[in-house]
Chain A
């Protein structure tokens, strides 16, 4: 740990007294706020789904989105394998797995864009119906989170290439991993409530 980061962590005495890494604590608090954010959108979607007819739901391609789900789950594996690699001091392994994570995230986004274009071709848009509004809002915000995650993965990759992380100092990789896995968990829930039930 550098003298700068030691001085920095001294500013977070509460985190030290709890024996918690303040960066990790901050990330979990952020994720808790994200649970509330997506919870509001999910509750609204469920309400509309239960009260209004949604014939547009028949247009959803469950198999295609199922494959996209598989892509996102695979990307989560890449992240933990990357973290495992740097914890063992294998910087090249971290770089490789972060690159694969960003690639899989981009493939997921490509699948989502394809789905949006396909639905729009059938007349399902943000303004066409309550289903369209709630569907695009929910999946669109999730897609935005994936996009942010892809950018974060690439930034983490560049930092890894510059030697920022080591077997002793890899909190940045762990924080990114928590975010990425959370986005995966949100998708697991969305896949179920939008496409399966």
Chain B
């Protein structure tokens, strides 16, 4: 895929951004279609979480340029994400105990 961080003097980088946008729009459309069809709750939840993770990853990697930027930025961003995931999991586990 086109390197989206290095300056280019043609439209390659912009085309790369548009491709990422089209992927995000397509995933959102798939999510909306999935809400209209009868999926089991557990399957739907798993699929929605996977699609959401995919969308968030696309934005962070390509639009926020973490794919090419310093790994220090990645570490700064990922550490709280991991803590929040752990916190949310614990909250759900405590909810399951009620």
Instruction: Identify the A interface with B (CB < 8 A).
Output: 18-20, 24-25, 28-29, 31-33, 35-36, 38-40, 42-44, 46-47, 50-51, 62-63, 66, 69-70, 73-74, 76-77, 79-81, 84, 87-88, 167, 177-178, 181-182, 184-185, 188-189, 191-192, 196-197
Contacts and interface: CB of A to CB of B under 8 A. Distances in A.
Contacts of A35: 77, 80-81, 84
B72 interface: yes
A181 B7 contact: no
Given A24-B73, A73-B24, A197-B44, A36 B83 contact: yes
Interface centre among B24, B51, B96, by most chain A C-beta atoms within 10 angstroms, is B24
27 contacts: A18-B70, A20-B72, A25-B73, A28-B73, A28-B76, A32-B76, A35-B81, A42-B84, A46-B92, A47-B91, A50-B96, A62-B35, A66-B31, A74-B25, A81-B14, A84-B13, A167-B7, A182-B64, A185-B60, A188-B52, A188-B56, A188-B59, A191-B52, A192-B48, A196-B35, A196-B52, A197-B48
Interface of B: 4, 7-9, 13-14, 17-18, 21, 24-25, 28, 31-32, 34-35, 44-45, 48-49, 51-52, 55-56, 59-60, 63-64, 70, 72-73, 76-77, 79-81, 83-84, 87-88, 90-92, 94-96, 98
B88 A43 contact: yes
For the residues of A in contact with B, the DSSP-based class is: helix
Contacts, number: 131
